[in-house]
Structure 1
Amino acid sequence: MSTPALQLADASVTFVDRANPAARYTAVQGVSLTVGAGEFVSVVGPTGCGKSTLLNLAAGLLAPSTGTVQVFGQPLQGINARAGYMFQAESLMPWRSALGNVMAGLEFRGVPPAEARAQAEDWLRRVGLGAFGDRYPHQMSGGMRKRTSLAQTLVLDPDIILMDEPFSALDIQTRQLMENEVLALWQAKKKAVLFITHDLDEAIAMSDRVVVMSAGPASRPIGEFAIDLERPRDVAEVRTTPAFIALHNAIWAVLRDEVLKGYQQQLQVK
């Protein structure tokens, strides 16, 4: 078997309140998770189950309290230089145009300006924004900003793509267009993807595997499902197939109780 692109082994993250060291919160506990090279893996679970914590472990933004994180067989130390991270929140610099935003990462890496510009223009074309490079974020729609963020991530040609609910703020039509664009780009490049989402339909439509997390605290994987739907896929059309509906029912049977637990915990906090 080939070495996984990303591997979490018995990883846990416990946060300690510096003002009160006795106050501890374990977000995830005993998580073992792999993403193969070229594999698209989604993680679903209730609010507060530590999905973003897992992504931050994979990015090297957090170190595990226990357990290990490996990238292509090597222990991860510090920031994961082989990963690109597409955030849920807006990550564009408002004072830079779309072209300037996509060029930024290349410039920070020391790529000569002319080469950085050519690569950025190429990726803007790939995401359908070839004619909008001079637009600033406030001049773009939500979908255009997401396309720019996608180009900003992919222009660096990362081996691993980390995505934290990147389309949750979009309307359903724009969201489905973006999902299909991501799948088309992924199909061409076959990078490893770890995708975080609350939307079970989205997870099934896009992924090779779906991992279900338990309600927090001390969240852990409680189910893993292979998504054997034929590729390439259209995310809207595949939702109507019997195979998709069967997968949705099977995963929801595991996820439903955890969502209810998470909801009850939120009510108690309020």
Structure 2
Amino acid sequence: MSDGTPSAAALEFDRITVAFRSRDAEGQRYTAVADTTLRVEAGEFVSVVGPTGCGKSTLLNVAAGLLEPSAGQVRVFGEPLAGINRRAGYMFQTDALMPWRSALDNVMVGLQYRGVPDAGARAQAQAWLSRVGLGEFGDRYPHQLSGGMRKRTALAQTLVLDPDIILMDEPFSALDIQTRQLMENEVLEIWAARKKAVLFITHDLDEAIAMSDRVVVLSAGPATRPIGEFVVDLPRPRDVAEVRSQPRFIELHSRIWAVLRDEVLKGYAQQLKKAA
């Protein structure tokens, strides 16, 4: 029986601020993220949207332990994060495949670093390549794979480590729309089977709504912060193409875009100012 105490979130940003010193002679302080609080529950799929340059990837790097916040604290299942987040897997915008290693060798490398014997690592890597539809392509090198196949390999590379938290930084942005939707559905299918916590960064509002339990909107930078949070109550399982025609999807898109639009315009104006 529950004692009424709320369970610890899989990932929690508690009043996080991230500031940098510029590299110019004056060394001015630039605040990328300001006083941001955000929770991702175990088994929850949360997407973050916001204007270009607003600090979305900065938050992901903080969650991964690659960047230490200037203020505030990150907690992982209730424990303060110190150093690299060992319970998280990170899928980058550009795949991190080693060109001199085959697809199979790329997928198994993380297990090898963890000390898994080669035979066991190879078996697990092969199983995950099969899971993402590349069971017959393990001997191919990255340059021999299409963009979608490389993304599938990178996905297997992330998931073979069985992380409790999956961090995804616009992983499908470079793909054509058909391949992108196939990958989105594959991720949702795998996520539904394993129910890991996911923090997903995207510029694509349609993608965010179609995939997520919750969408968080960030303000334009500098000093970005959450300014809107929307529960996506569309039934699961979902097909990311079919769900976009549902009236509730259209309603959610309109509500979220009403908040996001002004921030996108602010971000665009700031980009023009920098370029002038």
Give the letter aligned to residue 96 of structure 2.
S
From 120, 124, 127, the counterpart of 2:129? 124
Tell me, in whole angstroms, the C-alpha distance in 2 between the residues paired with 1:104 and 1:21: 43
From 247, 252, 256, the counterpart of 2:257? 252
From 90, 94, 98, the counterpart of 1:89? 94
What pairs up with 1:198-213 in 2 under 5 angstroms? 198-213=203-218
TM-score normalised by L of structure 2: 0.97
Tell me, in whole angstroms, the C-alpha distance in 2 between the residues paired with 1:38 and 1:5: 8
SS in 2 for 1:235: coil
What pairs up with 1:44-59 in 2 under 5 angstroms? 44-59=49-64
Give the letter aligned to residue 103 of structure 2.
A
From 62, 68, 84, the counterpart of 1:79? 84
Tell me, in whole angstroms, the C-alpha distance in 2 between the residues paired with 1:47 and 1:161: 22
From 135, 141, 146, the counterpart of 1:141? 146
- 1:106 maps to 111
Q: Deviations over 1:48-100 (max 9, x none)?
A: 11000000010000111011100000000000000000000121000000000
Tell me, in whole angstroms, the C-alpha distance in 1 between the residues paired with 2:27 and 2:152: 44
2:268 aligned with 1:263: yes
TM-score normalised by L of structure 1: 0.99
Structure 2 unmatched ranges of 5 or more: 1-5
Tell me, in whole angstroms, the C-alpha distance in 2 between the residues paired with 1:89 and 1:20: 32
Tell me, in whole angstroms, the C-alpha distance in 2 between the residues paired with 1:238 and 1:19: 48
From 240, 245, 248, the counterpart of 1:240? 245
2:228 aligned with 1:223: yes
Tell me, in whole angstroms, the C-alpha distance in 1 between the residues paired with 2:259 and 2:75: 28
Tell me, in whole angstroms, the C-alpha distance in 1 between the residues paired with 2:77 and 2:122: 30
Tell me, in whole angstroms, the C-alpha distance in 2 between the residues paired with 1:147 and 1:154: 10
Q: Deviations over 1:154-213 (max 9, x none)?
A: 000000000000000000000000000000000000000000000000000000000000
Tell me, in whole angstroms, the C-alpha distance in 2 between the residues paired with 1:106 and 1:209: 32
Percent identity of the aligned residues? Answer: 76
Tell me, in whole angstroms, the C-alpha distance in 2 between the residues paired with 1:252 and 1:161: 26
- 2:185 maps to 180
Could you tell me how far 1:221 is from its partner in structure 2?
0.3
Equivalenced residue count is: 270
Superposition misfits of 4+ residues, deviation over 6 angstroms = none
Tell me, in whole angstroms, the C-alpha distance in 2 between the residues paired with 1:136 and 1:53: 31
Could you tell me how far 1:16 is from its partner in structure 2?
1.1
Q: 1:208 to 1:65 in 2, by over 3 A?
A: same
SS in 2 for 1:234: coil
SS in 2 for 1:180: helix
SS in 1 for 2:241: helix
- 2:21 maps to 16
Could you tell me how far 1:3 is from its partner in structure 2?
1.1
SS in 1 for 2:99: coil
